[in-house]
Amino acid sequence: MDFTNFFERLKDLTEQEDVIGIGKDAAALKMEFEDALLEAERVDQVAYLTAQEEGITHEKFDFKSKKDEFYVTYKQFSEKRKNQLELKKALESENLRLKKGLINRLKEVIENEEKISSAFNSYKEIHETWKKIGEIPRDVRDEIQKEYSRLLEIFFYNIKIYKELKENDVKRNFKLKQDLIFKLKNLRNSTLLLRDLEATLRILQDEWEEIGPVPNDDWEEVKKSYWEAVRSVYEKINLHYEEQRSVLAENISRKRNLIIQIEEFISESSENKTSKDWDISSKKVIAIQEEWKKVGFGTKKENEEVWKIFRSKCDNFFNAKKQFSQGAEEIYKANAEEKRKIIQEVEALKTSVDWKYTTEKIIQIQKKWKSIGSAGPKWENKLWNSFRADCDAFFLAKEKHYHDKDAVLEVNLLAKKSLIESLAVLILSEDKHDALAQLKDFSTRFTEIGHVPRKEQDTIYRNFNSLMDEKYNSIKLDDSEREKINYQSRISSLLASPDRSKLLIRERSDLRKEVEQLTKEIALLENNLGFFAKSKGADQLRVDVEKKVRNAQTKITNIKKKLSMLPNE
């Protein structure tokens, strides 16, 4: 960060011989330097915090040495200007004392000197001495000059000097004074800097006093025009100072409003919970700092006062942000480690084809991810991108799977509709075995076609089973054959169902429970037979029980046949 330009400019100002008139230039340069220094400190602070967040080393810039170097030179300038101002003030006070003495001498000449030659010589001595005396305090300059001019007028009229002057000198003086009045009027509309305007006015006023008398008939008009022109210039000077004071006061007011704004933002920032909150607050504070730089200067004392307050508020804010960042770092590390573990879980699941289970599992993991706080600016986006990529990989694969599956289901739907149409117009063979073979073939083909879209499943299933029942009923079968065929038809129906796995498991479970129940009944009946064998007149009861046992055993045999007919899935 280069501050050489500020040092060189301040050194040039300090080395000038007369530094009184460039005090504002130096003050403006100081404010410009302080603003640049603040911006540099802010940029360095941001760089430092960014480096901390990214885990990089940042060497902070040594602003103190630059500040010290600048303020040492500025102090030299201020002391030099102060000395010159004190010297100028002393000289002006002495000059005022001398001019008052000359005015008193001139009054004495006017009042007491009777000899014209002596009076004129005294006047010449007084006037020459008057011209050699330097500046006097500005606030009494006009008053002293008016008094001196008034006495000169009295002097010239009293000694009737005009009678001794030649007519052409009087006319020349008249012309010179008219020219000088014209210059004064032009000076009112000039674009000179204020200090140059004041200096030019003093020179013209001195020239006016050096010009001799004018014709008596023209004097009042010339004098009136002269003082009107002088007052016009002074009005411009005074107006400038009033406007300048107004501008300075407005600038201070704007800066105090900015201090109020930054105090409000700092108060709001006490509620910040995340780095994002602090970043938003930082942007607001930096925006106010930028606005501050656009505001012009105020009065020196107030400008320094508001600047110290503003800089203190900014420092407090960035110190609070720094403390938050240091405390949040440990939380960020813990959250980052927990999120890495979650990413490992998703990586292990993203290639799974168990769509339902894995979908539910990943959704649970996503909820868990949301419950974990931020991993900080350094890791949050990287971890999130990795996590989201793994989740997206699974869900894209799932989407493709079901898209392909839907296409297959539509093809199956068309195939089953075509098969149902064929079944509807099927003419069964008169041979019972061939007819059964025909129906079994249709059942097998219907099952082998596979699933159809869920919204069509029940309709297709019912239509097919209804037609199959009609066809089986049209075949003449004995009871055992019908029972076997009916159960085969039931199995075919189960296999054709979209929930075949669940239905087959339930069917096998129901048959086994039935076998278990029959077995318990047989055991109970056989136990009762033991009592009947010892009882007289119980033959008929024993025959009934034995019959029930045989029927139960037959049922068990038939159920086992059904179990053997069920496919193993």
pLDDT in tens, the chain (569 residues): 567 888 888 888 888 888 878 888 888 888 988 888 888 888 888 888 888 888 787 777 777 888 888 888 888 888 888 887 888 888 888 888 998 898 998 888 887 766 666 777 888 888 889 888 888 888 888 888 888 888 888 878 776 654 554 567 778 888 888 888 888 888 878 777 777 778 888 888 888 888 877 778 788 888 888 888 888 888 777 776 666 666 677 777 777 787 787 777 677 666 666 667 767 777 777 887 777 777 776 666 777 777 788 788 778 777 777 766 665 666 777 778 787 888 888 888 778 878 788 888 888 888 877 787 776 767 778 878 887 887 888 778 877 776 666 777 888 888 888 888 888 888 888 787 888 788 788 887 887 787 788 888 888 888 888 888 788 788 776 666 666 666 766 676 666 666 677 777 887 888 888 888 888 888 887 777 666 555 555 666 777 777 878 888 888 888 787 777 777 75
Position of tokens 């049209």?
Answer: 474
Residue type, 305: E
Residues 127 and 174 in one domain: no
Residues 184 and 135 in one domain: no
Q: How far apart are CA 187 and CA 336, in angstroms?
A: 75
Residues 22 and 132 in one domain: yes
Is 436 domain-assigned? Answer: no
Residues 204 and 134 in one domain: no
CB 81 within 8 A of CB 30: no
For residue 327, give both structure tokens: 């405390």
Residues 117 and 173 in one domain: no
DSSP type of residue 22: G
CB 497 within 8 A of CB 503: yes
Residues 117 and 212 in one domain: no
Is 213 domain-assigned? Answer: yes
Which of 298, 324, 357 is where one domain is finished?
A: 298
**What integer pLDDT is reported at residue 46 of this predicted model?**
84
Task: Render 343-401 in DSSP notation, one character per residue.
Answer: HHHHHHHTT---HHHHHHHHHHHHHHHHHS---HHHHHHHHHHHHHHHHHHHHHHHHHH
Which of 268, 298, 328 is where one domain is finished?
A: 298
Is 331 domain-assigned? Answer: no
Q: How far apart are CA 475 and CA 478, in angstroms?
A: 10
Is 104 domain-assigned? Answer: yes
Q: What percent helix, strand, coil does the chain show, rounded to 5?
A: 85, 0, 15
Burial class (CB in 10 A: 0-12, 13-18, 19+), 468: buried
CB 10 within 8 A of CB 77: yes
Residue type, 440: K
**What integer pLDDT is reported at residue 162 of this predicted model?**
43
Residues 76 and 211 in one domain: no
CB atoms < 10 A from the CB of 229, how many? Answer: 22
Residues 2 and 136 in one domain: yes
Residues 48 and 123 in one domain: yes
Is 508 domain-assigned? Answer: yes
Which of 275, 298, 321 is where one domain is finished?
A: 298
Residues 127 and 8 in one domain: yes
Domain holding 46, by residue range, is 1-140
Angle, to 10 degrees, between the axis of helix 23-54 and the axis of helix 376-424?
50
Is 347 domain-assigned? Answer: no
Residues 227 and 264 in one domain: yes
Is 407 domain-assigned? Answer: no
Q: How many domains does the chain have?
A: 3
Nearest Cα to Cα of residue 123 among 131, 319, 438? 131
Is 303 domain-assigned? Answer: no
**What integer pLDDT is reported at residue 272 of this predicted model?**
66
